[in-house]
Every structure is written in C-alpha cells, then in structure tokens.
Amino acid sequence: MERVLSVSIGEIALKGLNRKYFEDKLISRIKRAMGNLEYNRVYNEQGKLYIEAPEDSFEEIINRLKKVFGLVYISPCIRLEKDMYWIEKASIKVMEEKLLKDPVKTFKVVTNRVDKSFPEKSPEISKKIGAAILRNVEGLSVDVHNPDTYVYIDIKQNCYIYTERIQGYGGLPVGTSGKGLLLLSGGIDSSVAGFLMAKRGVEISGVHFHSYPFTSERAEEKVKNLAKTLSIYTGRIKLYSVNILEIQKELNAKCPEKEMTILSRRFMMRIAEKIAIENNIDVLITGESLGQVASQTVEGLTVTNNAVDKLVIRPLIGFDKVKIINIAKEIETYETSILPYDDCCTLFLPKHPVTKPKIEDIENSEKNIDIDRLVEEAIATMKIHYIE
C-alpha cells in the first residue's frame, strides 16, 4: 500500500479525440505548479491522473494544485493491489484516518469498477466493505442518502481508496484555448477577467497603458503586482507596458473633451490589437461590464469595439460589481487593485463623458489625428516585463 494523490479531470474527460492533448497540457501545468517540490512521477491511469510524491509534501502540493485549471478535485489516496482482503483493510484505515480529522457519524461506500475483469461487481464490493467498516470502526452507521462522508473505491489497474475530494477550479488547462491579450488596468475588473479566461484555457499576456510621468511608478508597480498574483493561476505573463501620454495630449488638444475617454479606449484597443497580431495572439480580453461606467454602455462598447477587427472577449459583461469583487477577493487581487494610485484614464478625465457616442461623431473627431503614427510610436517605445 502506498499513498498517492489522485487528480480528477472532469470536463477534459469529455474531449473525445482531443483528450490526450488536454491531459498532456494538464500534466505539464501540474508539473510546473509543483516546481521545486519533490515528486516521483505523474501518471495517467484510466481517466484520472496520479502523483507519486513524499507524503509530507502532500499538503503543499494540494495547495498549489488547487490553482491549476482543468483539475476538478484532488484526493489523497491509498493505492493497493486489487484484492478484497487488502481493500477491506485499507478502507478501514481510510475511515479511521477520516475520523481523526472529522468526527463523522454516517458514511456510504461508493465503488467504481473500471476494470470489468474484477470478479465482484460494484454494489457487492460496496456492501461488503461497508459491512467490514461497521464491524471494525465504532460509532458509525450507513446512510445511503445523505452520508457525512463517502468512502470511494476505484478499481482500475490498481485499486485506489479515499474519502476526501478537495475542490479545484475545474475549467480547462491554460494553453488549450489559444492565446489572449488582457488589457490590464490597475482596477478590480481586468484581473478578474484575465482569471476567468485563463480558467477557460486561454494563455494570458497582458498590456497595460500608462501616462508616465503623469502616472506614477508606483502605479506601474501595482499593475505588475496584480500580474504577479494572476500568474499564480495563469503561469508566466508577458506584460507589455505602453505609454500613451502623447496620444492623450493629442486627443486633448484636438478633440471634444467629452469624448476623451472613448477616444483613448479606441487607441488602447488598436494598440492591443497590433501587439496581438505581431505576437500571434488570437483574442483581446477586457474587464468591461455593461453599464458600469459611462464608456461601458451598449453605445460606448459598440464604438470601442469598432476600432478593431479581432475578437474581443468581455467575460464580465453581465456581472454585477459585487460578484466581481467577490472573485477578486478570492483570487487575492482585490487588496492590490484598490490601492489608490493614478490610472492613465484619470488624466484628462472629462467632467461629462458621452454615454451614447455615435460612431460618425467619433470618427469625425479622429479625422484630425494621425492614428497610425501615434499607434506606431506608442508601440516603438513600449517596455516588456516577464512576470511570474
């Protein structure tokens, strides 16, 4: 009998012919998350992944793996040979260990017989093992409808027995849904947007716009810190840092004040799109949410969107702020995002921004602006940081 960790992969199991591809990605993400921790191997056995590692590092491994997307739950298991005598012994042991941590009163045995050549059928196994636990462990009874704990028995090439299912985030392994460029401000929303898309398998790069020296170096640090927290989930983030001060000055000098925000947003989109094209990134991601601020009305979003051809994903579009904040707290970006440093959007902020911009008006205002040159110049002077 040995101790191993099992990893349930949920949705990936539905991927049919691509399954191997998804599993391999997940294995590489798991290995990366384990980093410097000692482990022997990660292997696949009939629908789940298993990790052989020293038992005293299980806790740390579990903590790290909980943040790996594509993983539904993790279970510390006993692995043993498929033999009813030993299955009984191990099940009793697993139950006794459960009781040390958690004073449960009722249980149910659930057997999953993947290896159909095993002579006894699942219900018989569950029944026999349930009876053995009742005989050997005091103070328990069986409850098949609403037990305090389950004892899971998976019969495969080996047999695995466990009681815990420690939840992960689910989703898909990062890198299986292409590449996205996240417009990362210092605010609450954009990090959450990046987290959600990474959870759907998108590999994340970031672009941040600033107006240095009008915005401070601390504001830039703040964004790097957000990217750092995000990278716990997404893996290394390439962060493009673009100064748009010249663009803002030009817009301020030549365009109506009330259009400043929407015009800057269009520039951000254009620059992001160009970076994406040059770096083979498939999609842009923003933290926009319908109705949140003046520029995020249907009309505002239409005009912003109109500046680019690439697909723009807005995962928060229908989320209320409270919900976004809850996610930000959970992923631990919240405290950093509420630090009160200046954002480039606050420079030349219009007192009464247009809430229903018309594309004709906006394009008309842009007539006096050399868009291509400004975009080129901003990109020529951008800096790149690698965050992990």
Q: Which residues bind ligand ATP (CB under 6 A)?
A: 183-185, 187-190, 207-209, 268, 286-288, 292-293, 295-296, 343-345
How far, in Å, CA of 190 to CA of 188, rounded? 6
Q: How far is the CB of 188 from Mg ion (least distance, A)?
A: 8
Nearer to Mg ion, 78 or 307 (CB): 307
Is residue 8 within 8 Å of residue 73, measured between CB atoms?
Answer: yes
Write each residue from 169 to 208 as x if it is in contact with Mg ion (CB under 5 A), else as -, in one continuous string. ----------------x-x---------------------
Q: How far is the CB of 66 from ligand ATP (least distance, A)?
A: 25
End-to-end, the C-alpha distance of the chain in Å comes to 38
Residue 184: contacted member of Mg ion, ligand ATP, none (CB under 5 to 8 Å, by partner type): ligand ATP
How far, in Å, CA of 196 to CA of 190, rounded? 10
- Residue 76 preceded by cis peptide, ω within 30: no
Q: How far is the CB of 300 from ligand ATP (least distance, A)?
A: 9
336 binds Mg ion (CB under 5 A): no
Nearest residue to 248 via CA among 239, 240, 257 = 257
Nearer to ligand ATP, 31 or 200 (CB): 200
Residue 305: contacted member of ligand ATP, Mg ion, none (CB under 5 to 8 Å, by partner type): none
Nearest residue to 33 via CA among 42, 43, 22, 20 = 42
Residue 293: contacted member of ligand ATP, Mg ion, none (CB under 5 to 8 Å, by partner type): ligand ATP
Q: How far is the CB of 199 from ligand ATP (least distance, A)?
A: 17
Strand locations in the chain (E): 2-8, 41-45, 48-52, 71-80, 106-113, 141-142, 149-155, 159-162, 166-170, 179-183, 203-210, 237-243, 283-285, 312-313, 383-387
Nearer to ligand ATP, 147 or 287 (CB): 287
Instruction: Look at phi and psi of residue 310 and say left if phi exceeds 0, alpha if psi is from -120 to 50, else beta.
Output: beta
Q: How far is the CB of 382 from ligand ATP (least distance, A)?
A: 12
243 binds Mg ion (CB under 5 A): no
Nearer to Mg ion, 185 or 264 (CB): 185
Cα–Cα distance list, 47 to 30, 100, 154, 185 (Å): 16, 30, 11, 40
Q: How far is the CB of 296 from Mg ion (least distance, A)?
A: 10
How far, in Å, CA of 87 to CA of 92, rounded? 9
Nearer to ligand ATP, 172 or 316 (CB): 316
Nearer to ligand ATP, 6 or 191 (CB): 191
Total binding residues for Mg ion by CB under 5 A? Answer: 2
Residue 30: contacted member of ligand ATP, Mg ion, none (CB under 5 to 8 Å, by partner type): none
How far, in Å, CA of 321 to CA of 129, rounded? 49
Nearer to ligand ATP, 101 or 352 (CB): 352
Cα–Cα distance list, 103 to 51, 129, 130, 149 (Å): 28, 20, 18, 10
Say how many C-beta atoms besides its own lie within 10 A of residue 280's C-beta.
Answer: 8
- Residues near Mg ion (CB under 5 A) are 185, 187
